């Protein structure tokens, strides 16, 4: 499927065939594509929690407004990020780069993030947002539908997945075979309202 078509056809789908099984090859393909999403300084701070256990899915659904996507989607991912990825052997993020590049970038990572809690959190959300969109467009290209989700109790989900203290949850992405058409589009604002030329 063409990129333009995948973007235009992706919709937030709420109903999925609970019996459809994705192959492991499809799951791996989606996650491998998601990892091609950009991250600042290539810190690859996203962590993709693939929830496979039906009991855990049910428990998550209970703290996610009982939304059926959580249990019925073929692939259900809690997109998390490691807030401290920037400090965990950052030289490995540039392991394939020439030494001169690595020597330049690695210290820059440290000075960009150290002591800046808000920047670390913002970066987590930026990275996960981009990975989520990659996942959803790739899923569309593979004949699947998807739903991004933040309608859940973040603390409760964190406890259920044993979220480490230095990680955050950004959103869920549910992917599967839709069984019902998406809601009609809510409507789009005029381009002129959201596009600002040069300055506000
Ligand atoms: C961050 C985020 C969180 C969302 N949370 C939910 C959710 O919890 N449940 C749901 O059904 N849809 C959720 N949506 C889907 C939006 O309602 C949907 O994307 C929006 O209405 C636009 O529709 P479209 O994606 O089909 O174009 C979420 C979307 C985003 C981007």
Q: Compute the mean pLDDT over every residue in the chain, rounded to the nearest whole number.
A: 97
Q: What spacing in Å lies between the alpha carbon of 13 and ligand 1's midpoint?
A: 9
pLDDT of residue 12: 97
Rounded Cα–Cα distance for residues 49 and 56 (Å):
12
pLDDT at 14: 96
State the alpha helices, DSSP H only, in 92-144.
Answer: 99-113, 117-141
pLDDT in tens, 36-73: 999 999 999 999 999 999 999 999 999 999 999 999 99
Atom of ligand 1 nearest to the CA of 132: 31
Of 6, 12, 180, which is best to mutate to test ligand 1, by the most ligand atoms within 8 angstroms of its C-beta? Answer: 12
Q: How far apart are CA 24 and CA 140, in angstroms?
A: 17
Ligand 1 binding pocket mutation candidate from 147, 157, 187 (most atoms within 8 A of CB) = 147
**Rounded Cα gap, residues 21 and 19, in angstroms:** 6
Task: Give me the pLDDT at residue 131, please.
Answer: 98
Each residue's pLDDT tens digit, 111-155: 999 999 999 999 999 999 999 999 999 999 999 999 999 999 999
Taking CB atoms and a 6 Å cutoff, what residues make up the pocket around ligand 1?
11-12, 14, 67, 147-151, 171, 182, 185-186
Instruction: Give the whole-number percent of the chain exceeding pLDDT 70.
Output: 100
Q: Ligand 1 centre and the CA of 103: distance in Å?
A: 41
């Amino acid at each position: 499927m063409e990129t333009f078509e995948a973007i235009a056809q992706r919709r937030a789908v709420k109903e999925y065939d609970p019996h459809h099984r994705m192959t492991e090859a499809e799951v791996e393909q989606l996650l491998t594509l998601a990892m091609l999403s950009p991250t600042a300084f290539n810190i690859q701070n996203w962590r993709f929690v693939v929830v496979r256990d039906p009991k855990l899915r049910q428990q998550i659904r209970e703290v996610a407004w009982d939304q059926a996507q959580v249990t019925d989607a073929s692939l259900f991912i809690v997109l998390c990020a490691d807030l401290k990825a920037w400090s965990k052997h950052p030289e490995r993020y540039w392991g394939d780069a020439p030494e001169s590049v690595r020597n330049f970038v690695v210290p820059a990572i440290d000075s960009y993030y150290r002591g800046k809690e808000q920047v670390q959190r913002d970066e987590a959300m930026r990275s996960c947002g981009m990975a989520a969109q990659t996942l959803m467009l790739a899923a569309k290209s593979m004949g699947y539908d998807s739903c991004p989700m933040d309608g859940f109790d973040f603390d409760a989900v964190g406890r259920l997945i044993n979220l480490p203290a230095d990680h955050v949850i950004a959103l869920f992405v549910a992917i599967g075979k839709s069984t019902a058409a998406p809601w009609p589009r809510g409507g789009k604002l005029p381009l002129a309202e959201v596009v600002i030329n040069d300055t506000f």
